[in-house]
Amino acid sequence: MDETRDGEGSSQPVEAKTKAQGMSHQSDVLPCDQLRDQVIGNQSSHTQLMETLLHLRQTVDDCITQLTTRPPQLDLPLEEQRHNQATGEQEAFLRRVVNLLQSGAMWGLGLQAPRPTLGPRDDAGGGQQAQLSRQLDQLVHQLSHLEVAFVSHDLSNRGIDISAFERSKFQDFKTYQGDKYHEDKNTMGFINLGVSENKLCTDLMTERLSRSDMNHLEDALLQYSDQRGQPFLREEVARFLTYYCKSPARLDPENVVVLSGCCSVFSALATVLCDPGEALLTPTPFFGGLVMGSYLYSKVELMPVHLDSEITDGSARPFQLTVDKLEQALLEATLKGKKVRGLLLINPQNPLGDVYSRDSLEEYLEFAKRYNLHVIIDELYMLSVFDDSVTFRSVLSMESLPDPNRTHMIWGTSKDFGISGFRFGALYTHNKEVASAVSSFGFLNGISGITQYKLCRLLQDREWIDKVYLPTNHSRLKAAHRYITNKLKALKIPFLNRGSGLYVWMNLKEYLQPCTFEEELLLHHRFLGNKLILSPGKTYMCKEPGWFRLIFSDKPLPLKLAMHRFYEVLAEQKRDLRVKQLEDPQKE
């Protein structure tokens, strides 16, 4: 219970931070700043939650006192805890409270990339001892954050932020980790449709990676390499992107930098393009993991360009990004004194699944050029366009870029090849300065030579990719997508029916009464309670409550079970709503 101790021992002045927080709130910057103050910062809209939190706190405090006076209990693994009849009920209650508070705080922060960044697989057995005690620790942390009171004497302030961020986010995930669904061993476990991973082709990938050509070793692979990445890999990446992005001219390996994951690429890029406190425009909803990418190390803020689900003048479809919206967001940012250095685009979009048309893309790039903004374009899902009728156009396919020196493209194998565990990301930029500066991170974000070799072999095998992998992957994605969308249609749940990505963006606001983020969160927890992990829209900075992202790239069996649980929760939710509706008029 170290953290508990830390949580109590605070005396550090916090005014300055609170002030800073107030500012960032004012300026409607994505609230990745100073987690511990954030909840306080968002008062206006979150009063209700605050009250709930404070109310629950008393109860929880009592329970903590009770529980901490029984240390042996706390050391029991979660499983045992759960089966412990004597204390089961109370603890279950506590767990719910903890969950609620945690996610409440999370929700207040508004920026969680919920589970996507959490990851462990086979470590499930490991960290699960004293789960409950850890949850309590985390709870104390959270509460401390609410009070702006948490200080660790060992960490720097930014260290505290970084670690608090992780703790708040890890909460649900740790629970998941200890109780993961498994086809044979744990059919009652959590099904994770929150993390964007493609698990449909692990058979193909395992087979390909097991072939003997992958296991080549030479001394250069075990030695320091060019910090930008091994030349053979950069050449292969350039060839690969030339081909799959349909680049009009051969791409130059000198413009390629490879690092350990797209998160690293983005972080390095944000660092060299922006000074601390500067911002990137970001159409929302968007993949929240990038907030961390930009924030943990680089302290670069993301400035949301809020999109509407409603189709209005000038837009042809829901959540459409228009230059008007960009102009407006830029203006607002400037008025607030924010220095905007660039625009962040994700194409195919995550979580919408939208693909930008050639014309739109060009307009966005022209907009950026007008204001000397960099454009970071993340094409992480470019080969996960499974619907043939959808035409994806990579930014690298354009005949001429409006501002080539300020256009930077990111791609990796995590999504398109379903190997997020490989930790590979690539930057393509015409700007030599940017490439050089990002290369400085080659030491800190480098990839193992052995991994670089395997990646090179993989990208090289055009035959296998074109004839085996991509067709299979697309048809499996299509089937899984069809299965999920049919279910949603049957349930009359509106969703964006797109042919790319690994996810469906759906609207569950019918199930929220009232339609608030508080209710969205409660519904999210209802899913969790039924062992199903989805990502609520709030974590994508969506400004309308009720949206959820569902990952469909899982095997048929867990997918089917997941939809069953999904249905159960919604049915239960609906019953409750009816009761509520019945009660409400009676109250009046």
Partner 1 sequence: MFALPEKESRAPSTCPGPASTQDLDSNCGDGLERECSRKPDQKLPELYGVGDPTAGFSSNSSHLSSRGGIIKWFWDSAEAGYRTYHMDEYDEDKNPSGIINLGTSENKLCFDLLSKRLSQSDMLRVEPALLQYPDWRGHLFLREEVARFLSFYCKSPAPLQAENVVVLNGCASVFSALATVLCEVGEAFLIPAPYYGAITQHVCLYGNVRLVSVYLDSEVTGPDTRPFQLTVEKLEMALQGANSQGIKVKGLILINPQNPLGDIYSPAELQNFLEFAKRHELHVMVDEVYMLSVFEESVGYRSVLSLERLPDPQRTHVMWATSKDFGMSGLRFGTLYTENRDVATAVASLCRYHGLSGLVQHQMAQLLRDRDWINQVYLPENHARLKAAHTYVAGELRALGIPFLSRGAGFFIWADLRKYLPEGSFEEERRLWRRFLDHKVLVSFGKAFECKEPGWFRLVFSDKAHRLCLGMQRVRQVLEGKSQVAEDPPACQTQEPRDRHRHAPLSAHPGECGTRNPGSTHLSTLPSLVCWLFPFKLISSWSQYGY
Give residues 142-181 in contact with partner 1 (rule: CB under 8 A).
152, 154-160, 162-163, 165-167
Q: Determine the straight-line distance between the first and last CA of the chain, rounded to whole angstroms.
A: 47
Name the residue nearer to partner 1 (CB basis): 257 or 493: 257
Tell me the per-residue interface mask from 376 to 415 with partner 1, x by CB under 8 A, - otherwise.
Answer: -----------------------------xx---------
Per CB under 8 A, the list member of 232, 422, 428, 503 interacting with partner 1 is 422
How far apart are CB 130 and partner 1 at their closest, in Å? 11
Footprint of partner 1 on 81-140 (CB under 8 A):
117-123, 125-127
Name the residue nearer to partner 1 (CB basis): 69 or 156: 156
Total count of residues recorded for the chain:
588
How far apart are CB 202 and partner 1 at their closest, in Å? 4
Mark the segment that binds partner 1 (CB under 8 A) among 25-33, 70-78, 193-201, 496-504.
193-201
Name the residue nearer to partner 1 (CB basis): 176 or 517: 176
Footprint of partner 1 on 261-280 (CB under 8 A):
261, 263-264, 267, 271-276, 278
Sheet holding 535-536, edge to edge: 503-507, 547-551, 535-536
* CA–CA distance, 430 with 255 (Å, rounded to integer): 6
Footprint of partner 1 on 426-445 (CB under 8 A):
431, 433-434, 436-437, 439-441, 443-445
Per CB under 8 A, the list member of 34, 81, 260, 320 interacting with partner 1 is 260
How far apart are CB 200 and partner 1 at their closest, in Å? 11
How far apart are CB 527 and partner 1 at their closest, in Å? 20
Mark the segment that binds partner 1 (CB under 8 A) among 210-218, 479-487, 510-518, 545-553.
210-218
Where do we find the tokens 């339609």? Answer: 515
The H-or-E segment that residue 393 falls in is none
Q: Is 573 exposed, middle or buried (0-12, 13-18, 19+ CB in 10 A)?
A: buried
How far apart are CB 362 and partner 1 at their closest, in Å? 21
Name the residue nearer to partner 1 (CB basis): 413 or 573: 413
How far apart are CB 426 and partner 1 at their closest, in Å? 15
> Virtual CA dihedral for 354, 244, 210, 203, nearest 10 degrees?
30
* CA–CA distance, 161 with 183 (Å, rounded to integer): 38
Number of alpha helices (DSSP H) and beta strands (DSSP E) in the chain = 22, 12
* DSSP 8-state symbol, 187: T
Q: For the range 302-306, what are the long-range contacts, defined as Cβ-Cβ under 8 Å and sequence gap of 24 or more?
A: 302/29, 302/30, 302/32, 302/344, 303/28, 303/29, 303/30, 303/279, 303/329, 303/333, 303/338, 303/340, 304/28, 304/30, 304/329, 304/541, 304/543, 305/281, 305/329, 306/541, 306/543
Footprint of partner 1 on 309-348 (CB under 8 A):
341
Mark the segment that binds partner 1 (CB under 8 A) among 83-91, 377-385, 448-456, 492-500.
448-456
Name the residue nearer to partner 1 (CB basis): 84 or 202: 202
Mark the segment that binds partner 1 (CB under 8 A) among 45-53, 236-244, 289-297, 541-549.
289-297
Task: Copy the structure tokens of residue 397.
Answer: 């396919």
Where do we find the tokens 């609230």? Answer: 31
Cβ atoms of 554 and 199 within 8 Å: the answer is yes
HSE-CB of 81 using CA atoms within 13 angstroms:
26
Q: Is 292 in the site for partner 1 (CB under 8 A)?
A: yes
How far apart are CB 389 and partner 1 at their closest, in Å? 30
How far apart are CB 579 and partner 1 at their closest, in Å? 40
How far apart are CB 558 and partner 1 at their closest, in Å? 13
Cβ atoms of 284 and 326 within 8 Å: the answer is no
> Virtual CA dihedral for 538, 511, 506, 568, nearest 10 degrees?
110
Cβ atoms of 549 and 503 within 8 Å: the answer is yes
Mark the segment that binds partner 1 (CB under 8 A) among 23-31, 223-231, 384-392, 537-545.
223-231
How far apart are CB 400 and partner 1 at their closest, in Å? 18
Name the residue nearer to partner 1 (CB basis): 434 or 496: 434
Closest CA to 334 of 375, 281, 298: 281
* CA–CA distance, 377 with 390 (Å, rounded to integer): 19
Footprint of partner 1 on 519-558 (CB under 8 A):
none
Per CB under 8 A, the list member of 48, 51, 186, 217 interacting with partner 1 is 217
How many Cβ atoms are within 10 Å of 318's Cβ, its own excluded? 17
How far apart are CB 359 and partner 1 at their closest, in Å? 26
Per CB under 8 A, the list member of 17, 82, 96, 199 interacting with partner 1 is 199
Name the residue nearer to partner 1 (CB basis): 42 or 177: 177
* CA–CA distance, 133 with 488 (Å, rounded to integer): 39
Name the residue nearer to partner 1 (CB basis): 460 or 516: 460
How far apart are CB 63 and partner 1 at their closest, in Å? 23
Footprint of partner 1 on 461-520 (CB under 8 A):
none
Interface with partner 1: number of residues (CB under 8 A): 93
Q: Is 2 in the site for partner 1 (CB under 8 A)?
A: yes
* CA–CA distance, 95 with 38 (Å, rounded to integer): 23
How many Cβ atoms are within 10 Å of 574's Cβ, its own excluded? 13
Q: Is 96 exposed, middle or buried (0-12, 13-18, 19+ CB in 10 A)?
A: middle
